Amino acid sequence: MTVVAVFVLVITTKIIPNNEEIFDQIVKKPVDPIIKLAEESPKIDFVPATQSKAVYSKILENDQIPAHTHAKTISVTDQVLTTLKSETPPDLSFFDVVTLDVPADKQEFKNSCEESALQMVLAYYDIQATEMEIVERVGYKPRNWDQVKGIWDDPSEMFVGSITGKNSKGQAMSGYGAYAPALAKAARTFGRNAESYSPVTASFIAEQIYKGYPVMVWGLFRTPPYVKYAWKTDEGKAIEAYRGEHVRVVVGVIGDRVNPVGFFLNDPLTGKKSEYWSAERLMKHMNIWGNLTNQAVVVR
């Protein structure tokens, strides 16, 4: 018998980091245990497992939300899992179809989906690189998330945390990942023109495929509960992050440039090539957390 757990996430849409009263009311319980599935990383894998004011969104009961905070209840888990259901592509004989010969790759490390995705794109351009070579160019100085002070690094500038989930001594270490600007920067060091974009539309992605450019897209994978996190850099910059952060590569399109029907994606987590996603499903998935998940990199 299979048991399916449904998580309901309450998101506070107005957060005031300097207001201790609000945070003290929101952050009451110990952090929910990380749910680990076979061969999957939670993509925020933090150490130690203690709650802090660094976490500003979590699973809560309605009566735990401060009355003076604007909040709404949505089932983020349902939204994400719905967009992760596999689909059957339509009859291709009725549509224009463009596919790019981007080799599939399965990520080597626990938190290396971004590096695996860029590795696929570089291979499409006959550039060979390992995931560790790529992460060094992304920017890599792994350290734990300091949840007491709410301090960590900027995923738009570098890879945040450990790509393996461990330090050099084999001990557990916090690991997250990197955002589109950091991956575009890394791609340029390999001699390609690369740009990051946020947000993007289905027609934008389709246009790139028609031009012969694969597109790295941000989203999530199947590791509920889906929650948002926040911390600051050493310099005081506010950072938003989300559990389940994942990157795939769009390698094909069904339909025209303006109104594409669907896309084919390579997924570093599974190593599968050309998985079908309808355009509607992909955009719903990428927009789960707004511009935070709606990110893309185009390497030309």
Gap between the Cα atoms of 250 and 167, Å rounded = 32
pLDDT digits (tens, 9 = 90+) for 78-133: 889 889 999 999 999 999 999 999 999 999 999 999 999 999 999 999 999 999 99
pLDDT digits (tens, 9 = 90+) for 68-78: 323 333 478 88
User: If you average pLDDT over residues 53-59, what whole number do you get?
Assistant: 33
pLDDT digits (tens, 9 = 90+) for 144-182: 999 999 999 999 999 999 999 998 888 999 999 999 999
pLDDT digits (tens, 9 = 90+) for 231-289: 999 999 999 999 999 999 999 999 999 999 999 999 999 999 999 999 999 999 999 99
CA 198, 261, 197 angle in degrees (round to 5)? Answer: 10
Q: What is the pLDDT of residue 71?
A: 34
Q: Supply 33's token pair.
A: 């245990």
CATH value at residue 104: 3.90.70.10
Residue 272 placed within a domain: yes
Q: What is the pLDDT of residue 151?
A: 97
Q: Supply 153's token pair.
A: 């690094």
User: If you average pLDDT over residues 58-75, what whole number do you get?
Assistant: 35
Residue 233 placed within a domain: yes
Q: Is the CB of residue 140 less than 8 Å from the CB of residue 158?
A: yes
Residue 43 placed within a domain: no
Residue 95 placed within a domain: yes
Q: What is the pLDDT of residue 68?
A: 31
Q: What is the pLDDT of residue 208?
A: 99
Q: What is the pLDDT of residue 125?
A: 99
Q: What is the pLDDT of residue 17?
A: 37
| Enclosing H/E stretch for 252 | strand 245-255
Residue 42 placed within a domain: no
Torsion angle of C-alpha atoms 109, 110, 114, 116, degrees rounded to 10 = 30
Per the structure, how many domains does the chain have? 1
Q: What is the pLDDT of residue 223?
A: 73
User: If you average pLDDT over residues 187-194, what whole number do you get?
Assistant: 99
Q: What is the average pLDDT score of the chain?
A: 81
Q: Which domain holds residue 117?
A: 80-299
pLDDT digits (tens, 9 = 90+) for 6-30: 333 333 333 333 333 333 333 333 3
Q: What is the pLDDT of residue 75?
A: 75
Gap between the Cα atoms of 93 and 88, Å rounded = 14
Residue 236 placed within a domain: yes
* Helix axes of 131-138 and 180-188: crossing angle, nearest 10 degrees: 110
Cis peptide, bond prior to residue 48, ω within 30 of zero: yes
Q: What is the pLDDT of residue 12?
A: 35
Which carries the bigger pLDDT value, residue 35 or residue 4?
A: 4
Residue with tokens 């003290």: 24
Q: Supply 156's token pair.
A: 């738009």
Residue 163 placed within a domain: yes
Q: How confident is the model at residue 222 (pLDDT cuts 50, 70, 90)?
A: confident
Residue 251 placed within a domain: yes
Task: Tally helices (H) and strands (E) across the chain.
Answer: 7, 11
Gap between the Cα atoms of 46 and 93, Å rounded = 48
